[in-house]
Amino acid sequence: MLVTVLTLVALCLHVAGIGAAMHAVMHTRTPQGAFAWVLGLVLLPYVTLVPYLFLGSSHFAGYVDMHRLLRIRSRQQHDNRSWPQREDYLRRHAGVHPRFEPIARMLASHISGGHRTELLINGEAAFAAMFAAIAEARHYVLVQFFIIHDDQLGRRLRDALVERASNGVTVHLLYDSIGSHDLPQRYVASLQAAGVDVRPFRTRRWRNRLQLNFRNHRKIVVVDGATGFVGGLNAGDEYLGARPPLSPWRDTHMRLDGPAVAELQRSFSEDWYWVTGEVPPFRPPPDGEGSAAVLVAATGPADLQESCSLFFTQAIAVARTRLWLSTPYFVPDQAVLAALRLAVYRGVDVRVLIPSRPDHRTVFLSSRFHTHEAVQAGIRMFRYQPGFVHQKVMLVDDDTAVIGSMNLDNRSFRLNFEIAALTVDLAFAGKVEAMLADDFAQSVEVLPADYARTRYLSRVAMHVARLFDPIL
């Protein structure tokens, strides 16, 4: 009897595995990912069916279509309701930067001039600047983080938002429901009691059952429509280097004032509208007074194209003398890796800064494999020694810098909602160059012979880990 029951269960699992494999063939975004899922679901449904329920779905229960509709609607709301003179404003501040026009067209965005920028090199500087700006808010504050912890820094953020809300300022706070999975309800309740409108982001509007992919990884702060912040930092003590063994934590943010703040607001508005059905407040940014041109790149799996991967591919392709990158996870797809290789053949100084210690071991193992592959192609790879490097920074030639939330991995390329600011300005790029030069000086270069010196079992683990690239 027991054997019969087990046989029936095994048969049902295999039938379900075949059905799930058919779904994977039809809906997985890449051939490699589809093949991996099909192989596992057909041969080992006992161990792959449950992970597929959490990680394999590529449908958002209407989110994709709704997100595109919201992009149009929020742009209309911003352009017509609150900023009737927008086109004239953009014409007066438009920058002519043909290198990045393909990115702008892909994102239905634009690169505009007249920005003042500030490089915020670490967590202390970034949060000091953000808290100071929040304290000066008179109309509204929009805040979005992937991770918020109920720790010292998280409570400082809560107190700053509560103080503004108690003074009549409209405050909206959005956090990712998976990234902030351990945020206690008492933290949320204390904000709500003070008048802060705080919501979790979910890709399913009314429920988030069995959905771990398609996370909102963006980090945005906007104050009164005039000042914006974007970068790699979340709201937790580890981002201030307060949690060994990864400390000191190396991360970077930036502040910008100018017309691109409206694009930060638009990105926030789309996500907020999806969650609430409401449009947050909007004020047009004041006339730009700076020298920098900025393009805000908001990318994600709801885009028609694989916009994040294409963003990196184009930015790498335009480099002529220098391409310096910093990323915590180096798991590039073939398009980005090919762009990096071609940059080397053009004579570009290509350097990539990565961690020397892991925060996610499977990703770190896969990253080690791709690191050695990159070194063989002439890409210079450096491991940062003092602590964990989490910054997402790119320097192109002498005039362009990118700071945001985008990692060099499949999750950022295809599974997460991301955002970054591409800034064209000699002075700002010069500061980023000095910052990265200091980081490289505290790093050890990976050499071609290092792979041969790696233990055999470690090499096997690296090759096995890279099989999971599509979901890392």
Pairing assessment for the beta strands 418-424 and 443-445 based on DSSP bridges: unpaired
Centre a 10 Å sphere on the Cβ of residue 136 and count the other Cβ atoms it contains: 13
Q: What share of the chain is helix, strand, coil (3-state, %, to 5)?
A: 45, 20, 35
SS3 155: helix
- Quote the CA–CA distance of 11 and 32 in Å, as a whole number: 27
Which of 176, 251, 333, 397 is catalytic? The answer is 397
Cβ-Cβ contacts under 8 Å for 134 (sequence gap 6 or more): 141, 143, 160, 161, 164, 221, 223
Q: With b meaning 16 or more CB within 10 Å and e meaning fewer, what string describes 296-311?
A: bbbbbbbbeebbbbbb
- Angle at CA of residue 108, ends 103 and 114, nearest 5°: 75
What tokens were used for 339? 């762009």
Amino acid letter for position 65: D
Pairing assessment for the beta strands 400-404 and 418-424 based on DSSP bridges: antiparallel
Q: Identify the bridge partners of residue 228 per DSSP, sorted by sequence position.
A: 222, 256
Task: Assess whether 219 carries a catalytic annotation.
Answer: yes
Q: Identify the bridge partners of residue 298 per DSSP, sorted by sequence position.
A: 419
Which of 110, 219, 253, 372 is catalytic? The answer is 219
- Quote the CA–CA distance of 235 and 228 in Å, as a whole number: 16
With CA atoms as reference, report the closest residue to 308 among 4, 170, 147, 103: 103
Task: Assess whether 397 carries a catalytic annotation.
Answer: yes
Cβ-Cβ contacts under 8 Å for 285 (sequence gap 6 or more): 225, 226, 257, 258, 259, 260, 261, 262
Which of 23, 370, 390, 439 is catalytic? The answer is 390
Task: Assess whether 149 carries a catalytic annotation.
Answer: no
Which of 176, 224, 333, 439 is catalytic? The answer is 224
- Quote the CA–CA distance of 140 and 64 in Å, as a whole number: 28
What tokens were used for 145? 């983080």
Task: Assess whether 224 carries a catalytic annotation.
Answer: yes
What tokens were used for 159? 């107190």
Amino acid letter for position 125: A
Contact criterion met (CB below 8 Å) for 254 and 181: no
> Burial of 12 by CB count in 10 Å (0-12 exposed, 13-18 middle, 19+ buried)?
exposed
What tokens were used for 129? 């600047």
Which of 23, 97, 110, 217 is catalytic? The answer is 217
SS3 96: coil
Amino acid letter for position 30: T
Contact criterion met (CB below 8 Å) for 291 and 425: yes
Task: Assess whether 217 carries a catalytic annotation.
Answer: yes
Task: Assess whether 159 carries a catalytic annotation.
Answer: no
What tokens were used for 122? 């670490």
Which of 253, 257, 392, 409 is catalytic? The answer is 392
What residues act catalytically? Answer: 217, 219, 224, 390, 392, 397
